[in-house]
Structure 1
């Protein structure tokens, strides 16, 4: 049988320590009993048993040594037992701490479940609150939409009212301005000394370039043209010119060349001719005047050429009509009334075209200025 380390055995079989302790105690009791028994033998008993004194002495010494060894074994066993008791105490304390921790874990778990339930309950309350807020906000949004529609309606109504007020103010201003031009022409000597055909053209140009033409540009109302034509045709001074045109019908038509020749004849002063031509836009850049129209340009060109006198070797009226036809359109024969209404429409259309081009140019300049401002701000 091989020697066995009691500590290793106890590590594998925990009860081996208790069993070893019991065996040692049993062996100790046996050795002590054997020593006591041999010490108590009498003389005769030892004779009968065949023991002599020398044997008895060696036996007692052997038994005493065995007993001492067993006592030392007992002491080691007691020390081991005390260590085991301390280890058991430590393990017990640790087990108690583990139990306490387990109880705390269970308690915390219960608290977590309770907190989770409370969180769920709170989430439900928040959900209801959010739903209520959403419904309220939706209701508010609907009311805001309603108010916005009402405000839009009011804004449109106010804008329409503003437009009407502006149109009314423009109409009043245009009417007043046109009336002033006519009264100045009829009673205050405006354009006096000029041929009547030139006066009609200049009155139409003044109305088209003033507030009357501006009213038409903003509102599109062209009624002032017919009203001005009626006022001019009803003027008492026009009867003489009407007679010069001749009777109504084909016989009362005159070519524009004939009209230019008559104007040149009635305006002998070259300076007056040049002045009227320049008032009608001759010599100006297209950016500084309304566009030319056939009749108006032909009259202005004829006056310009006739103002040159001997420097112009050709017939001014013929050259003026040819230039007008080449650059601005055909020229037909006209009656007295057709001439009046024709020059009014020409000057009104030219003013409309000039105002439209001016507005477009201003819009482009504003866009360029806005773009430059945006670039500067971004930089």
Structure 2
């Protein structure tokens, strides 16, 4: 008895892609049993009436029926077992797909959380960049302010040192000691202005000049006197030759001289005139001429007033 497997091969190849297959041994047995059932069925169909009666009497027909039913039953059991395996495989596959689905959802949630975190981090970084930029700008402003304060302090220290050197040399008689007091006041004020003191005055604003004036006045009488007496005292301290030389020192073309300085210069010019033309009181005459044109200085003043006028005029002329 032969068994044809070709009808089942195509089905088997189709099933291999989707479900677990029967083992080769079980598949062969199922095919053999199906072939046996076909053979028994064909044999019974080919029997004549007498043969059927004889087979029924001797029990051959009953035996063939039992064999057919047994083969079909066994095949059904094998197929049922295979179906159970397929169901189990499907359950396992569904469970696996469920786990995969949960994993994919977790991955998606993590990806979304990471994306949200990146967006939040980006916003925080932008905010941090803004804060850092503002902080850097504030630090730069504070640094510039500190540098300006340090530079101003350095200028103040340099100005104080230069001021002390200038006034120290003058007070010890190292500079201008042969000149009259009014000329000394003018030249010392200009020397102070030409150095760090004047630079600090130009950059940082007006500086207090009371200490300079107090040092310049020194021990001179504090009482009120005629302004012309200070000029006449100056003229008396120089001869005509020295008066001309001192006048040259005091006349600086680039400076605009004030009224008191102009009176000093004019008094020296009058004192430098030859004896026949020299006036008896050049200081009084110079003061009157300046007052007639400029209305200042006043007729009477203290030594502090005169020193203040001269110093202020040098500052005004050098630092417009």
TM-score range, shorter chain: 0.5 to 0.7
Matches of 1:310 and 1:150 in 2, distance apart? 77
1:183 offset after TM fit, Å?
Answer: 1.2
Comparing 187-196 with 134-143, which one deviates more in the overlay?
134-143
Instruction: Sort the Cα spacing of 1:197 and 1:146 in 2 relative to 1 into closer, same or farther, 3 A.
Output: same
Aligned to 1:149: 134
Aligned to 1:331: 297
Aligned to 2:243: 273
| Aligned match for 1:174, one of 147, 159, 163 | 159
1:308 offset after TM fit, Å?
Answer: 3.1
1:191 offset after TM fit, Å?
Answer: 0.4
Instruction: Sort the Cα spacing of 1:156 and 1:134 in 2 relative to 1 into closer, same or farther, 3 A.
Output: same
Instruction: Sort the Cα spacing of 1:329 and 1:167 in 2 relative to 1 into closer, same or farther, 3 A.
Output: farther
| Aligned match for 1:229, one of 213, 226, 233 | 213
Matches of 2:313 and 2:215 in 1, distance apart? 17
Where does the alignment leave 5 or more consecutive residues of structure 2 unmatched?
A: 1-116
> Which structure ranks higher in relative contact order (CA pairs < 8 Å, sequence separation ≥ 6)?
2
1:274 offset after TM fit, Å?
Answer: 2.1
| Aligned match for 1:297, one of 262, 266, 287 | 262
CA RMSD of aligned residues (A): 3.1
Comparing 199-208 with 162-171, which one deviates more in the overlay?
199-208
Instruction: Sort the Cα spacing of 1:195 and 1:147 in 2 relative to 1 into closer, same or farther, 3 A.
Output: same
- The structure that is helix-richer by fraction is 1
Instruction: Sort the Cα spacing of 1:305 and 1:145 in 2 relative to 1 into closer, same or farther, 3 A.
Output: farther
Asked if the contact 1:185/1:191 (under 8 Å) is kept, the reply is yes
Q: Deviations over 1:337-366 (max 9, x none)?
A: 22223322222232221xxxxxxxxxxxxx
Q: Deviations over 1:122-181 (max 9, x none)?
A: xxxxxxxxxx99998876654443333222211111111111111111111111111011
| Aligned match for 2:177, one of 192, 201, 207 | 192
Matches of 2:140 and 2:176 in 1, distance apart? 47
Q: Provide TM-score, normalisation by structure 2.
A: 0.55
Comparing 294-303 with 136-145, which one deviates more in the overlay?
136-145
Matches of 1:274 and 1:140 in 2, distance apart? 78
1:212 offset after TM fit, Å?
Answer: 1.4
Instruction: Sort the Cα spacing of 1:134 and 1:313 in 2 relative to 1 into closer, same or farther, 3 A.
Output: farther
Instruction: Sort the Cα spacing of 1:329 and 1:163 in 2 relative to 1 into closer, same or farther, 3 A.
Output: farther
Comparing 176-185 with 295-304, which one deviates more in the overlay?
295-304
Matches of 1:230 and 1:168 in 2, distance apart? 24
Where 1:325 maps in the other structure, the secondary structure is helix
Q: Deviations over 1:191-216 (max 9, x none)?
A: 01111232223222222332212212
1:322 offset after TM fit, Å?
Answer: 4.4
Instruction: Sort the Cα spacing of 1:301 and 1:136 in 2 relative to 1 into closer, same or farther, 3 A.
Output: farther
Instruction: Sort the Cα spacing of 1:337 and 1:190 in 2 relative to 1 into closer, same or farther, 3 A.
Output: same
Where 1:346 maps in the other structure, the secondary structure is helix
Where 2:297 maps in the other structure, the secondary structure is coil
Q: Number of aligned pairs?
A: 203
Q: Provide TM-score, normalisation by structure 1.
A: 0.47
Where 2:251 maps in the other structure, the secondary structure is coil
Q: Does 1:218 align with 2:203?
A: yes
Aligned to 1:309: 274
